[in-house]
Structure formats: structure tokens, C-alpha cells
Structure 1
Amino acid sequence: MDSDGLVEFERHRPRLFALAYRMLGSAAEAEDAVQETYLRWDATDRAEIRSAEAWLTTILVNLCRTWLDSARARRETYVGPWLPEPVRTGHGELGPLESAEQRELVSMAMLTMLERLTPAERAVFVLREAFGYAHREIADMLDLSVANSQQLYRRATRHVRQERPRFDATPDHVRALFEKFLGAAQSGDVAALESMFTADIVSTADGGGKFTAARRPVVGAGRVAHYIHGLVTRLLPGFPDVSIDFDEVNGGPAVVFRTAGAVLMIATIDVVGDRISALRMVLNPDKLAFFARAEQASTGGSAA
């Protein structure tokens, strides 16, 4: 590729990755989608392209729509619950997240919810909500009528609104509650854990069959409290050098568990008032690889 074409593509790369990740819920697949878009950009006659942003966005979002169909089939055979791949967001990795609404759109809760939409609904919702495209632009990108784009958006919004998590807690409040939760978990205080949960709390662990984790979500304050106690009892003796740190992941506070420098687990919570309403734990090492690489790159480290 000529240098001008490469420079132009690189200018759009961060936005393309942010879009692909919101569409796919997988950082690794988002990287692949961006690379495939680059290959098509390299192979086309760019003299005929009036807007690089529109052309690249159109190619990328339609690639993601196609990939979502095959991804859905793969996830039907996935071992245990499927959760999105966690991404660090403290340095603009997914674009500006300056408002609660922007953070909500990349949260683990929202990305999990978007899995229930059709590929077309998800594309319209992401383009409209996260990137502010007008329905005329979306219709052109997705080869739809404006009326169809509006209909898909209304349908997607209705699905999301039915189960949309409440994001009334500030990041500082979430972190403080997370710290209290960790203290109770490490001390083995099951009663304290239970008192911190909503009655209908749901704990979801994604081990992908590669790390021992509950194969189904655990529901209810008492059950989750005992489950967390058992998990900590099993986990910590097996990894005596575990370190626990906070980081910003998917727009909110998350806890990163490491052993011997390697990422072992990333956990996030949803908060309602002063209680935890959901706990999500990613333990599948395949889903932690992108996070680890990004972390190493930001600190100037190298992969082991």
C-alpha cells in the first residue's frame, strides 16, 4: 500500500476497532475484522472513494454482521456461560468514555445483553447509540431503507430497555463496594458477603471449559455467597502468589487477579444502591490474552 493510503487507514483504525468490538464483544475478533477491512482497503481503487470513513465503516460493520451469524453458532456449543472479552479502557482504548451513558455502552452487562439482538439490530443500535450516525447514513451502510433502520433501532432499544442495567453508581462507589466484597471473600465471611448482595444477584463465570468454573449462572444471595466462598477456598491455595489489583475495564472498575505476572481472572460487578446485583468473572485464558498484551504494551513490557 502507498504511504498515503496507510496513513489514512491508521487514522481510522482506533475508531474501527472500537466499532468492531462493540459489534462482536471480542477484542481478538475485532482485531481480525479491522485487519480484513485493511486488506480490502488496500485492494480497492481508492480514487473512487468519496469518504474514507463511510467506506471503511460500511465494510467493517457488514463484516461484523456476517461474523455474528457464525459466532452465534459457535457460542451455542461454548462450554458454560459466554461473557465478552474484557478490554482496558483507562487510556481511550475504546474511544472517549466521558459520560455514564458512554461507559454503559461498553460495559460487560451491555455487551452481554447485545448478544440477544439480531446482527442487523445490533449494527443499527451500535452505529446510532455509540457513534451517533443518522438513520440515512446507517441505511446506506447496511443497504436498508431509512424506515427499516428506524424500525430495527426501535426494536433493539425495546429489547435493551427491558433488561437495561441501572448505572446510577459512580466509579468510586463501585470500587468501594468492590473492596468491601473482596475483604469479605478473602476472610471467608459468608454472612457479610450475603448481606452485600441483592436478593436476586446473578454470578456468571466464563471458564470456556479451560478453567474450572460454574457451568451455569448462580442465582440468589445465599447461593452466590457460598459459591464465592468455595471459589476463593479452592483458588487461593492453588495460586499462593495471587495478586489483586484494580483497573478500568469496559468503562468501570474491575479487579484483576494475577499469578506469577500472568492474568488469572478479571471480575466486574453491577451495583444497585449499596448492593451488588451481578458479578461477572472471566477466567478463560483465551479471553484474557488481549488484555495481557495491551497491558504489556502500555508498560513497555514484552510477552513471555
Structure 2
Amino acid sequence: MKKILIAFVGLFTLALTAQAQKKSGAIQFETTLDPAAMASANGIQLSEEMKARMPKSVKTNFELLFTATNASYMPVEDNEDSNGGGGGGMGRMMMRFGGAGGAREYYYSFADQKLTEVFDLMDTTYAMPSKLTVALGNQNFNMGNRQNNNANATANNSAVQFLPVPPTQEIVKSDETKKILGFNCNKVIVKTIRKAKVLDVERDIVDETALWYTNDLGFNFSPNPNLWTEGTVLAIENKGNSTLAKSIEYRGVSSKDVTAPKKALPITADQYKAKMEAMMKRFSGGQGRQGGAAPAGQVRNIVIN
């Protein structure tokens, strides 16, 4: 009887240890950009010669580190393990480039549902409060920001002319489900409808983005904070641009890896916008597009009705 009790206690301890380990770890994400498909989605006509010169795809890796209380998300490179281990793991790159096209670091605090964006601007590291939401007008996606901005600028000077009226948005829940990394995921579609002239004919341009999320991980997250409805988003799908969780590893994570750097100076969204507008005016002589770069995350699929 004593041996049975000892065995039972041992199994119970192992179960608790395994459960505790699943409260921290790393999820690797991969972003894939197809430049030709992105151009087509933005109404840009490309010659076969131009398509041939473009890369078939541009891939970028990102890593989500999480504990029971916090998480961080940023670009990584394939070299050394982010927690100091060797052997060709994914090592974090500190890539905080403020302004258009720059990647950012995102830090999550689960208890109070706080999100902080950390980025560099004019040799200064800033920390800006943010939140998970579905926001209008944020069309760019992490390392694809420059490509998307260029495509939008070209589109606005060619076949598609977006009109200066506020867009509308619709969130459609789907019955579709699938497993990603073994987690049960539900699908939701975010539709953004914008008025535009296509070859001088007014049409509705519908951007559709599919989000796949799970509630099994127990915390809220999205690779794009402006594309989130609930749960942990493990995939964002769209024509020409997508992101997907590729692997998960349960392991110990250092608290410093999921905590925003203390040297970062606080900045509000309004202050950041003012700084970006001032920079754009200086660079373009006052004629440039106003507004800062959109945070990481959205991919686009344009349907002309």
C-alpha cells in the first residue's frame, strides 16, 4: 500500500511539473510575402518581365516568448537560441527601427491586459502603450511594410484611386475550424470596405483578412495587434501576405525576455503621430503623406464588387 501511495504521489508530481512547464515557452512564426501577388491585389498591373524580376516570396521569422504572466514578440534570425542555448535555434534580433517599414517589439502583460510597443526613433528607444483590437486603416504587415507602402502609393497613382471617405468594417465569424500546432482554432474574417474609383468607375474595395485563433493557450495575442478579436491568433491569411505559427516549444523563459526595456522612454500615440508628421514634412518639404507607420500585422486581399 505504501509503495502504491509513493507511486501515485510521484505520478501526481510529474503531472504538475508537466502542467507548469506548459505555462511558458516559445512559438515560432513565419511571415511570407509574395510581391507580385501584393501588387496585383492593390490593382497594379505588372508586365511579365517585371514579375520575373521579383522574388517569388520573402520570408521573415518572428518569435513569441510567453510565461504565465507576460509575453514578447519580435523578429528572430536562425542562429543561437534566444535563451542562451546553442545548436542553431532561433535567436532574437533587436530590430527597433522607428518610422515607415520598421519592425517593433511587443510586450504583453496578461493580468492587466496591457500591450507596449517598443521601437527606436531618431536614436531614442520609445515605449508606447497599445492594445489588441480590430483597427481601421492598418494595412501593413511587419517586414513587408515598405513593399506594401510602395504598392499602395503606386496603386493610388494608377488604376485604383481610393476616395477620401472613412472606410467601414465588418467582422464575420466562420464555422470553419482547423488545428494549428495541435490547437483547435476558429476562423474569423475581417472585412474592410473602402470607396474607390477603378478606371474612373466608383466601386467598393473589400479587403478580407482571415484570422485563426485558439482559446486553448489561455492568453490573448496576435502577430498584428490591430487584427485581433479574441484568444491567441496563430495564423493570419490573405492574398500575397500571410503569417503562420510553425512550431511551439514548452520551456523555461527568463522574465527579462518578456519585459519591456527600462531605458525606453514613454510616448503616447498622439505624441508619436506628431513626431512622424513633423518628420514627413521635413523629408518631403511639407508635401508628404502624414501619419506614422502602421504597426505590424495586416495582409490584404482586395475584391472588387
Greater fraction helix: 1
Structure 1 and Structure 2 fold alike (TM over 0.5): no
Which TM-score applies when normalising by structure 2?
Answer: 0.26
State which structure, 1 or 2, has the greater radius of gyration over its C-alpha atoms: 2
